[in-house]
Amino acid sequence: MGFPGLSNVSAGLFAILMINTAVSMSAIREVFKSAVQFFRNIRLWRTQEVETAPTYPPQDDPPVTSRFALPSLSDEIRASLPVSSYESSMRSSEEPLDHTAQCAICLLDFVEGDGIHRLPRCDHIFHQGCLSKWLDHQQNTCPLCRASLVSDDLQWRYRRREQELVEELILWFSSFHGSAFHGLWWQA
């Protein structure tokens, strides 16, 4: 048995060949297992992506309440703006009589009785629904001239509430860190 003329080498060569074959098969098996796991993860990721994708039109989610949550600034602005009905007498005296006023957001003419918001700082008017959508996108300025929609009182209340939340969080964190937490980081 073995190779002619190399009788003592053939047994060693056969053992090395068997070891190399076993190692190669093991490596191929591991590569195959890794590929299968990779494709499983991709399939799982895609199904999770589909399950978590938003439905259109978006559904109204219940508001998340938290001790540390501030009411949305957009909601505060929306609540502070009075709604009135459009009347042709509301047009600016600078506009010609044959000119019809338009909402700068949707570019539609105002019709008698439309629900509108008149902005207090710049006196621009917009459809109620148009300005509401504008505010939903966290826009806190007039869509036309960029005047702030946040009143001084609202700014003051927001800053005060933010400061209260910061103080609560510092107190909360200090209860976990005990004596290792000395004062505020900016006062050090």
> Homologous superfamily of 72-176 in CATH?
Zinc/RING finger domain, C3HC4 (zinc finger) (3.30.40.10)
Cα four-point dihedral sign 88, 92, 93, 99: negative
pLDDT tens series, the chain, 188 aa: 455 555 555 667 777 888 889 999 999 999 999 988 888 888 777 766 555 544 444 445 545 445 555 567 788 888 888 888 888 666 555 555 545 688 888 888 888 888 898 888 888 989 988 998 988 888 888 998 998 888 888 888 888 888 888 888 888 877 766 555 555 555 55
State residue 57's pLDDT score: 46
Cα–Cα distances in angstroms (integers) from residue 18 to residues 21, 39, 145, 169, in the given order: 5, 32, 81, 66
pLDDT recorded at residue 56:
45
Q: What are the extents of the domains in the chain?
A: 14-57, 72-176
How far lies 121's CA from each of 4, 54, 65, 174, in Å?
Answer: 104, 37, 32, 43
